[in-house]
Amino acid sequence: MPRVVGIDLGTTNSLVAAVIDGRAQILHPEGASSMVPSVVSGRPDGTLVIGDRAREEVGQFPQDTIFSAKRFMGRDRADVADLLEKLPYETMGKAGGQIRLRVGKQWMTPPQISAEILRTLKRHAEDALDSLVEQAVITVPAYFNDGQRQATRDAGQLAGLEVLRILNEPTAACLAYGLQEKREGTFAVYDLGGGTFDISILRVEGGVFEVLATNGDTELGGDDLDRLIGEKFFEEACRNHPKPLPRTPEMMAMLRHVSEEAKIALTHEKETTVRLYGCEQLLLERTLTRVELEEWIRPLIARTLEPCRKALEDADLLAEEIDEVIMVGGSTRVPLVRKMVGEYFECEPHVELNPDEVVALGAAVQADILAGNRRDLLLLDVTPLSLGIETYGGGYSRMIPRNATVPCSVTDLYTTFVDNQSHVDVHVLQGEHEIAARNRSLARFKLGPIAPMPAGFARIEVIFTLDADGILKVSAKDQRTGTAQAFDVKPPSGMT
């Protein structure tokens, strides 16, 4: 029988898990690592290398090796312009359209690259389970917008998987933790991964996992810590070098590697030796202490506390009312992160479960629920951002507020502002600003023809339906003529 699995498609590493004999387990072939690095490298003959072998080639072939593709999922060039300038590999794409990344001799979209990682995970699961894998639950950061969720679903379909559910990562973590520990209460799930930060507030009671609020920052993660550390090393090397040092792809890849190694070493040690090579010579050799590293990265870690405050405010809770804090994501291994989070919530964060594996384990539990194998659990998730339409004069009318429980459907009535108007423009937006132009445009369409009449007489019914994946369907209908239109919202930077 085909099996359903849970997948954590991460910025840095990805994992697959399944429930076996009532227990969620990470899947991997015998002798292979449980984690698949989210790295894809292109060979001169056009073939692709995925995972551990690809990661080994980042330093050797930096222009042909793609890492952190998740940060570009469902986003156009304008969204990530600053980030693109700091990458060793080539990109192309117009503003408003999807980004393409050069992988060896090929140009690929982020969903295509992610699909290669998902195919590898699919094969690992099939080897471990000795059965076909055709369905999956795939996790995403809680603060992913509609376009990013759509892109993740596209990647799953390209990999030959029916995506049963797009599940928020912190929710998955709480699902795994709550089941294993048999705990009930109010939880904060602090998820600092390679490319994103999320905070979710959940209440667990009687087998019901209810998300009360979520917030986050899709521009903050372990990659950003590494980049900051690398910049410090590069500046110091430039001061010690008689000639200007070039920012070549090889130099950028070396800085990323050295910075990540130093950060990992200082997770366990009080100091480490840093050696930076480039231009066929040793450019920098120095001792870096944990105290010095923490001074550098403290402002970035402090940035995570503002989303925590907003999530608590939306949940109508104080920090001291949180029973337990669960740490998720590889970057939460950094001692300063645990210290600052513990001080903010006034409790010792839980780090018993492997922060790299807990999301995949929770996805496997949700997959098991959707497969009909257990009926003692109910998961109530929320949408991270408000959804609405543009109104007359450039205003923004929220249809579905942020932190609304999904799935949900909302209907509202609108009218015309011009006499004898023959069509109505419906502009669908996502965001929190009162001005439409400051929110993210998801789709536009015209409803018509409608019956000519004085301004304010038309009755236009607009329905927003948000499914359990947080993906939106919109319909509009002129109540007088019956003219109607409905469609699934597809981001302009999505796949055809």
CA dist., res. 482 & res. 458, Å (int): 12
H helices then E strands: how many in the chain? 11, 28
Helix 335-345 and helix 290-303, axial crossing angle in degrees, nearest 10: 50
Which among 437, 386, 381 has a CA at the least distance from the CA of 168? 381
CA dist., res. 402 & res. 41, Å (int): 38
Residue 243 annotated to the active site: no
Name the percent of the chain in helix, strand, coil, to the closest 5: 35, 35, 35
Which among 356, 304, 352, 339 has a CA at the least distance from the CA of 143? 304
**Which own/partner pairs from 75-82 qualify as long-range (CB within 8 Å, at least 24 positions apart)?**
75/99, 75/147, 75/148, 75/493, 76/492, 76/493
CA dist., res. 101 & res. 40, Å (int): 11
Contact of 27 with 124, CB cutoff 8 Å: yes
**Phi, psi at 382, each rounded to 5°:** -130, 165
Residue 270 annotated to the active site: no
Residue 461 annotated to the active site: no
Pick the catalytic residue: 169, 368, 381, 469?
Answer: 169
Pick the catalytic residue: 126, 146, 191, 324?
Answer: 191
Residue 169 annotated to the active site: yes
Contact of 359 with 210, CB cutoff 8 Å: no
Pick the catalytic residue: 70, 122, 232, 263?
Answer: 70
Q: Could you give the residue numbers annotated as active site? A: 8, 70, 169, 191
